[in-house]
Structures are given as structure tokens and as C-alpha cells.
Structure 1
Amino acid sequence: MDIAEVRALLTPAGLDLLNSLGPVSSSDEVARTVSRLRGAGHSPDLVSAVVTQARLRERARSKFGDFGARMLFTRAGLEQATRLSVAAHHAGRFRRAGIERVADLGCGIGGDALALASLGIRVDAVDADEVTAALATVNLAPFGADVTVRHGLAENQDLSGVEAVWLDPARREAGETGRARTDDWSPSLEWVFELTGRMPGGVKLGPGLDRDRIPDGYEAQWVSADGSTIELVLWSGALAREGVTRSALLLRGQHAAELTAPADSEDEPVRALGEFIHEPDGAVIRARLIGQVARSLRAGMLAEKVAYLTGDEAVTSPFVQSFRVREVLPADTKKLARALKERGVGILEIKKRGVDVDPAALRQSLKLKGEESATLIMTRIAGSRVAILADRVPPAA
């Protein structure tokens, strides 16, 4: 989306036209809508802008729910935006710390600022991209004077009167493309950590950040939403909890569960395959709290450096997916296919860790037929590849 499209869109007539459109999701709907609007005499810039926004609003439902129906987006801004449910948890931490004014340095389309402002926190927001800042201004307009949005660089902002900061430094080009940068962060992590080392802050980063880059004294919180590990947040100052340096926050629908620890958790020893296999959530793995979960389940590691747990207790937890073991089958594809056919398994979930297996290619090779369903866990035990047939255990509440 370029600035000409923004100018065409951000008028009363442009916004009214956008809000009059229904969902636009398929290519056919796009073509029909463009043809209809051009036929009605609307300019190419306006047509492009409103159709783009209609499509993005439809995609935004997974992150923003009904709020997304009145928001404006760039493609990159929507992709990078924090889900509203996650942003609400972050905002709650600022509120519990008694923070009344936050600088959102790299606000994107305004998702985190929206959550902060909804809790009565004043927000000074800034974004380096002119188009993104303009759309954030519209998205945050309902909060009036409690939120200001500026176009500019995080490093150049006056933080007088600000009590805490929220930052989303990114390895990407600013603006619409979202292309990855390989040379540096913007703003640089050195600048970010210098700032959050002297005032309370939250820093949103990718979950795969090299752990050696996490400064001492910060709380590192890995966040998983509906089974996907989506981010790492580093908390400093009054926003970091005393005695906590590692945490894993899991959000599933309206439910939340969290593990916290003063340091990485030591793994439990490897043990023989038991009646159950437990697969820790990605946030638990990233936070290196597998051992803490294993002890709560009275389980051990299935193999060295493979994130599967095993035990004999009929227990589970919100931090794992659990499976009851049926039997161990041959790992050879032809023998495995024959064994599954004999058992009438035609609906098969395939999971794998610690082995070089392409689940899609394996599924095709197995030529499944039958009405039975099961889970196949491809992994290794004592250095050998194994295929474990299992059934899912209902998740813990």
C-alpha cells in the first residue's frame, strides 16, 4: 500500500466506501469488486486501497476477532502484529506493575497500543514507516488524547514522562514488503538493551533468538498461541518478576497456563518407553523447562536431545500433548504400511522428532485404507529409528 492509496482511503468518502463492502476473500470476489467499483467511477487508487483493506480485514479475524472489522492494515503490518489475545496479556503486565504511560517504539498497525490503551494506559506510539503510522493513527483514534501516534524513528523519541517502553525490533525492511534483513535489527539490539536496562520495558522478538543474546537480569518469556510458538518477550525492570528468568506462556482459546522458573530446568534421565508419550509445547522447549514438566508427570526423556517424554502414569498437563502407546511397529516403510493395513488404520496423524522423515511423503507411501484412526510417532530410541503407534489423550483443562 503506497501513500497515494492511503490519501485516497483516509477521507470520509473513502472510509465509508470501505465499510460498505462485505467480505472479500477469493480472487473471483476481488475481480468482481474491482470491476464494480471502477464502473461506479471510483479512482484506481481508491479502488485498490479499499479492496486491499477488505481482504486484509477478513484475514485479520484470526488475530483481532471483531475488532479487525474496523481496523486498517498493511500486509506486513498484519503479519507482524501481535494477536489481540496475546497483546492483552502483555498489557496486563504493564497494568499490574502500576505503569500509567508507555512508549510503543515501533507500534506497527497499533495492536499492542490498542491493548494498552484499553486498560487505561496512556500510549506514545511511533513507527518508522509513514504508511503504517498513518493507519495506526486511524486504528487508535477511538482512544482520543490517551494515544498519540507519530511517524519517526524509535531512537529519536523524547521519552520525558514515559514510565516504560514496549519495543518490537525487527530484522526486516520497514514498510510494506516485510522482507527479512540479515545484517542488523532496527532499532539495534544494543540500543534496545541499553534503553530497557535503565527503564522498565518489554521487547518482542522471534522465539528462535540466540539465547546468548539475552542479557542478564531479564525475564525471558516464550509465548505459544493455539499450539504455535509465536514470540519471545524480554522483560526488564519493574516488568520482570522477581526470581523468574525463564517462563513459558501457553494460550489456547480463552485459557492460559504458564510455567516459570529461576533458570533453565535440568532434564530428567532417559528411561525405557512407557505406556504414555508426552510432547512438550514449543514454548516449554524454547524456555528449556522440559525437566520441570517431566517431573510433574513423573516421566523421563525418551531419548537424548529429543523432546519427547515417556512414563507410565495416566496423567497429562496443559504444557504437553499426551499419547497412549499402543505398540511399536517396524520403521521400514513397506513393513509399516503392511502393519497399518492389517490394523485397518486409514486416518493417521504423523508426528516426528529426531529423525529425517517427511510426513507428507511418508503418508503417500503408506497408502492408507481403513476406518480406524491413530497417531504415528516417528522418532529414535537408543540411536535407532522407531515407529510408535499411539492414541491421543484428551488435553488437560
Structure 2
Amino acid sequence: MNDLAPLLTAEGRALLDAVRGTAPADELAVATRLRREHPADLVSAALGQARLRQRAVAKFGAKDAERMFFTPHGVEQSTRASVAGHRAERMRALGVTSVADLCCGIGGDAIALARAGIRVLAVDRDPLTAAVARTNAEALGLAGLIDVREADVTEVDTDGYDAVFVDPARRGGRGRIFDPEAYSPPLSWAIEAALKAPHGALKVAPGIPHDVVPAGAEAEWISDGGDVKEAVLWFGTEPGAVRATLLPGPRTLLGTGLPDPRVRPVGRYLYEPDGAVIRSHLVAEVARDLDGGLVDETIAYITADTLGPTPYATAYEITDRLPFNVKKLKALLREREVGILTVKKRGSAVEPEELRKKVKPQGPHSATVFLTRVAGAPTMLVGHPA
């Protein structure tokens, strides 16, 4: 069913309530029972929406997900509520009171902006997606702040808005799109659109090359719970600034233009920088604060002799350093009675699960092994969280 309207009828809403929380194993039995009294396609649509709502809980939380409507693409591509909330709060702090949200999808960013007290024009060219965004604004009591329009974003007049936000489609028929000019709309068009307003924000893939970032933009990489979620190009803020933002928090690290850290011998502690720090090329700032250096000039692991507090990296105490040798590692783990083994890698072709099968850890203790390079040599560093 490609029409949202039947699910918004009294019968459709009653079915949504009836199938809420249905486990996958129970769907057939539930569908068979409900089809005795309701149209088969409506029952299927309600069960499909229930599945999407269950998937959406991770991004939107149970309270909102149970009231919202989704499409399969919308669930996958929508911004996590915590990330959208951070961006909306930045907009609010800039004094923004109105935003043109172009390529709004199912409305996740528009919802966050409206909850920050910002008036939103939400635009999407897909009829079903626009209908879902409109329904979500109504379901969450935000219709007074969110005006949803079905239109081609390239034809929308954004004059009079304090800010323009663009979230281009970064997936095509063959999967992810890595060339920013192959986004829909292209990054160059999105930049032009953002520059028409006092402020602008463009959501881009976190793997965007730094040399593609416009000179007048601020680039922010955002992680949530340790997972890198996106990069944002900001206009009308701090031209040329680079920052890594970690959620929850937020905690923000601002780049200072430091050169790459020096390479030094492995010390007592190893630090694994957050992915947003690595993507933003701000490992040097973290290494400076920890009085540390790199284990290898091409590897983003920081090592230091002392334990220092930092929200931007996870610290491990290193107990053993071995040249890469599976037999030696297996013997060491057996001697230490390690049965719970966490395998991390950077600069190694060995897959963690492959190594775990070979060493067959057994015992009551736990350890972490890093497969990496130290001064160019394949190395195994063994330790535990500090």
C-alpha cells in the first residue's frame, strides 16, 4: 500500500493499535485473524507500519515512534533524534527562528527544529514522503510550526528564512553515493541554496573528503554513543572551523591547526579516539592534551605514559606488546585465563572474528587485543580498559 490515507481512518488506526508490538513470529497468526474482519491490504499495511515503528525506536525513542508513521527508506535515512536535536539547538543558539528544510524526508529534522521553537518549511518532492512528514507533524502536535510542501526543492523560494537546511539523498540504485556531486540534489547546488540565507547547514556523509569542504564553511563531524553519524557543513558561523562533536553531551572539540602528532614508543596507555575525532582530523588536539604521540604515523592510536582524562578517546592500559604471532597470543591468553576477548584493529587485514576462532579464548578473565602497526611493524597490543 503506497497510500497513507487508509491507515489514518478510524479502521486503520484501530488496526495499528491491534498490531502494536506484534513479534515477527506471530505476524502470520495475527494477520490471519484480522483478515476475517478487515481488508487484507489494510491489515498488511498496518503490520508493515508496526514493523517500521519497531525499527524506528532506536532513532526516535518509543514514545515518538509509536505515534509516527514511516516508510522503509524514511526509517533508514532519517536523522537520529539526538543528532537532529543537537543541530536544532545550534540553530536556536544562532538566533534562527525560521528554517527552510529542503529534502525533509519523513520530518525528523523538522520535528527537532519545531521543538526548539523554530518555524519550519519542510519540502520533499515524493508525495508519500511529504504526506508522512505532514502526518508526523500533526501526530506530535507540531503542525502549527511545520508547513510541509510537496515540491522540487530546486524550485522553492527560500527568501525570508533565517536558515536553509539541506539533507541531499546519498543513496542510489546501487547503494551509497560517495561523490558529493552525485547527491540529489548535488552538493554544489546545496551550497548555493545555503548561501542565500544568513545561516545554512548541509548534512553530508561523514566520509566526505576535507578538500571538498568549501573554504567559507565550518565542518562538524558528529558521533552518537561512539558511532559516527554524519558531517554537517555550516555557513554563517565560523568560516574554516573544524570540530568534532560527541553525543550525548554535547562535547565539542575545536580544531586548532596542529601538525600531525609525533610517533613515539608504546607507553603504558593506549587511547582510541572517537570516530568523529578521527574523521575531523583532530587526533593531534587529543594527543596534545594527553601529552602523547602516535604508535605509527598512519595509525590513529595515541599512546602515553600517564593516564589522562579525556572525553574524546577511550583509554586502555597495555600489559603486553607482541609482534604479530597467533601462537604467541594464544599462549599468552591461555596463561592469563582469558575467555572474554575483545579484538580491535586498525591497519591490519586480519578480521577480529577470524583471530578469535584461532586463539579459542577460555577462562574467567577478559582482555582487549589491538591488531595494528607500531613504527611500521605488524603488532599485537594486549590490555584492558583503564
User: 1:179 offset after TM fit, Å?
Assistant: 4.5
Q: Residue 52 of structure 2: which of 41, 49, 56 is its match? A: 56
Q: Does 1:388 align with 2:384?
A: no
SS of equivalent to 2:143: helix
Which residue in the other structure is 1:347 paired with? 340
The CA distance in 1 between the partners of 2:60 and 2:223, in whole Å, is 16
Which residue in the other structure is 2:191 paired with? 193
Which residue in the other structure is 2:120 paired with? 123
SS of equivalent to 1:336: helix
SS of equivalent to 2:66: helix
Which residue in the other structure is 2:314 paired with? 321
Q: Does 1:333 align with 2:326?
A: yes
8 A Cα contact 1:106 1:169, kept in partner:
yes
8 A Cα contact 1:170 1:205, kept in partner:
no
The CA distance in 2 between the partners of 1:282 and 1:117, in whole Å, is 29
User: 1:244 offset after TM fit, Å?
Assistant: 5.8
Superposition CA RMSD, Å: 1.7
- Describe the shift of the 1:9–1:194 C-alpha distance in structure 2 as closer, same or farther (beyond 3 A): same
The CA distance in 2 between the partners of 1:276 and 1:49, in whole Å, is 54
Q: Residue 374 of structure 1: which of 367, 370, 375 is its match? A: 367
User: 1:156 offset after TM fit, Å?
Assistant: 1.1
- Describe the shift of the 1:181–1:344 C-alpha distance in structure 2 as closer, same or farther (beyond 3 A): closer
Which residue in the other structure is 1:288 paired with? 281
8 A Cα contact 1:8 1:45, kept in partner:
no
8 A Cα contact 1:268 1:300, kept in partner:
yes
User: 1:327 offset after TM fit, Å?
Assistant: 1.2
Which residue in the other structure is 1:261 paired with? 255
8 A Cα contact 1:247 1:258, kept in partner:
yes
1:64-75 aligned within 5 A: 64-65=60-61, 66-75=63-72
SS of equivalent to 1:144: coil
Which residue in the other structure is 1:226 paired with? 225
Q: Does 1:10 align with 2:4?
A: no
Query: Aligned residues: percent identity?
Result: 43
The CA distance in 2 between the partners of 1:25 and 1:329, in whole Å, is 48
The CA distance in 2 between the partners of 1:315 and 1:90, in whole Å, is 30
Give per-residue Cα distances to partners, 1:128-177, cap 9 Å, x unaligned. Answer: 2111111111100122332111112111112232221111012324xxx8
User: 1:243 offset after TM fit, Å?
Assistant: 6.4
The CA distance in 1 between the partners of 2:205 and 2:26, in whole Å, is 35
- Describe the shift of the 1:262–1:298 C-alpha distance in structure 2 as closer, same or farther (beyond 3 A): closer
The CA distance in 2 between the partners of 1:35 and 1:356, in whole Å, is 50
Which residue in the other structure is 1:312 paired with? 305
Unmatched 5+ stretches in structure 2: none
Give per-residue Cα distances to partners, 1:33-55, cap 9 Å, x unaligned. Answer: 22222122x22221121111111
SS of equivalent to 2:12: helix
The residue identity in structure 1 corresponding to 2:40 is: P
Give per-residue Cα distances to partners, 1:78-122, cap 9 Å, x unaligned. Answer: 111111111111111111111111111011111110011112211
Q: Residue 31 of structure 2: which of 26, 30, 34 is its match? A: 34
8 A Cα contact 2:339 2:364, kept in partner:
yes
The residue identity in structure 1 corresponding to 2:53 is: R
8 A Cα contact 2:159 2:196, kept in partner:
no
The residue identity in structure 1 corresponding to 2:263 is: V
The CA distance in 2 between the partners of 1:218 and 1:84, in whole Å, is 24
8 A Cα contact 2:217 2:239, kept in partner:
no
- Describe the shift of the 1:232–1:389 C-alpha distance in structure 2 as closer, same or farther (beyond 3 A): same
The residue identity in structure 1 corresponding to 2:362 is: K
8 A Cα contact 1:204 1:231, kept in partner:
yes
The CA distance in 2 between the partners of 1:209 and 1:101, in whole Å, is 28
User: 1:75 offset after TM fit, Å?
Assistant: 1.2
Q: Residue 19 of structure 1: which of 14, 17, 20 is its match? A: 17
* TM-score normalised over the length of structure 2: 0.94
* TM-score normalised over the length of structure 1: 0.92
SS of equivalent to 2:142: helix
The residue identity in structure 1 corresponding to 2:200 is: G
The residue identity in structure 1 corresponding to 2:129 is: T
Moved more, 328-337 or 211-220: 328-337
Give per-residue Cα distances to partners, 1:341-395, cap 9 Å, x unaligned. Answer: 11111111001111111001110011111111011111111221111110102xx
The residue identity in structure 1 corresponding to 2:145 is: D
SS of equivalent to 1:71: coil
The residue identity in structure 2 corresponding to 1:306 is: I
The CA distance in 2 between the partners of 1:247 and 1:270, in whole Å, is 24
User: 1:320 offset after TM fit, Å?
Assistant: 0.4
Q: Does 1:111 align with 2:108?
A: yes
The CA distance in 1 between the partners of 2:218 and 2:33, in whole Å, is 53
Q: Does 1:250 align with 2:246?
A: yes
Give per-residue Cα distances to partners, 1:11-43, cap 9 Å, x unaligned. Answer: 2321232134331342x1222222222122x22
SS of equivalent to 2:194: helix
